Structure 1
């Protein structure tokens, strides 16, 4: 894992070093995590809740809210296309995560843009062996420039891999980020 973060950091530094016109920003806002867990034929609770009986498939859906804050860069490829890597600390129901989206931004006009790309999510806290600390997602969203320095951004990210390593549990955590940013 450390190797992947190091490679991402080096690539980010190289990209920023190549681009003399990169703009940096700080952003913060609300994050909602929507989790879906499907258990295939395993006993979750024995002698307590009969809905979790042997051999049943059970699906649980839950959403939690929290906040995020971090830094981002806008590295221009052309007048209308930018690379926008971000490093966001996220706290969701007292769980600390790093969200690392590397989106491409397409400016539709002077104020409105759409964004899309991959996102890595890294769990900062200690987990059990069956849980993946690094998860991969894909996201899309929109950005609106209120002024030259201030912008709002909203994006939704779908997790592609399973959160648990076992085949009996199918679990995904999707994110909705809505925030305000300031370019400096």
Structure 2
């Protein structure tokens, strides 16, 4: 699955570069990250974790027209006990001068889920106290999100942006999977500096 997503991202970025109407730019991106993981168990719901941290990585700006650009990014984020790699592919629509709106898919790959494993383990005991599998086997490491936000090009090289993304996939795949869902939301505020 991971190889398919990496291949898809590579094909998408290569295609975008080949159809670019202007000069593509490459840069670095970073800023503040707030990650919230919701844990829904039948009729009750709780926040499994809500942490603030940082993100950093690479970004590209690929102009298709004057008003429409594609901005793929490869980011690493860390918030509390959570660590993940994110691959957002945002369509940018310039609506007024340097101000633009963003929307698009984001693929996220969890690298650490320590804080969530204990809460999932407690829920599994309620669902199936005879379950003898690994908690790691019940959690999916790859998720598909939808993100949207806005940005402002302060200069040709510096962009300020804010984005919210929510997970469309359920990260839980264990006993009673119809009773339990595990989804994350992220809010980021940061800068992109293009070379």
**For residue 110 of structure 2, what is the aligned residue in structure 1?**
123
1:3 and 1:112 map into 2 onto residues whose CA distance is: 34
1:59 maps to 45
Name the TM-score, length of structure 1 as normaliser. Answer: 0.84
1:157 and 2:158 are equivalent in the alignment: no
Task: Give the Cα–Cα distance (whole angstroms) in 2 for the partners of residues 74 and 149 of structure 1.
Answer: 10
Structure 2 unaligned blocks of 5 or more? 114-134
Asked if 1 retains the 8 angstrom alpha-carbon contact of 2:151 and 2:160, the reply is: yes
Residue of structure 2 equivalent to 1:167: 178
Alpha-carbon separation, structure 1, partners of 2:44 and 2:94: 43
Other-structure match for 1:33: 35
Q: Kindly tell me the number of residue pairs found equivalent between the two proteins.
A: 168
Number of the residue aligned with 1:10 = 11
Shift >4 Å, 4+ stretches: none
Normalized per residue, the structure richer in helix is 2
Question: Which TM-score applies when normalising by structure 2?
Answer: 0.80
What is the DSSP-based 3-state SS (H/G/I as helix, E as strand, rest coil) of the residue aligned with 1:129?
helix
Alignment map for 1:53-92 (pairs within 5 Å): 57-61=43-47, 62-92=49-79
- Give the Å deviation of 1:128: 0.4
SS at 2:10's partner residue? helix
Calculate the aligned-residue CA RMSD, in Å.
1.7
CA distance in 2, matches of 1:125, 1:60: 20
What residue is the counterpart of 1:178 in the other structure?
A: 189
Matched, 1:105 2:116: no
Deviation at 1:18, TM superposition (A): 4.2
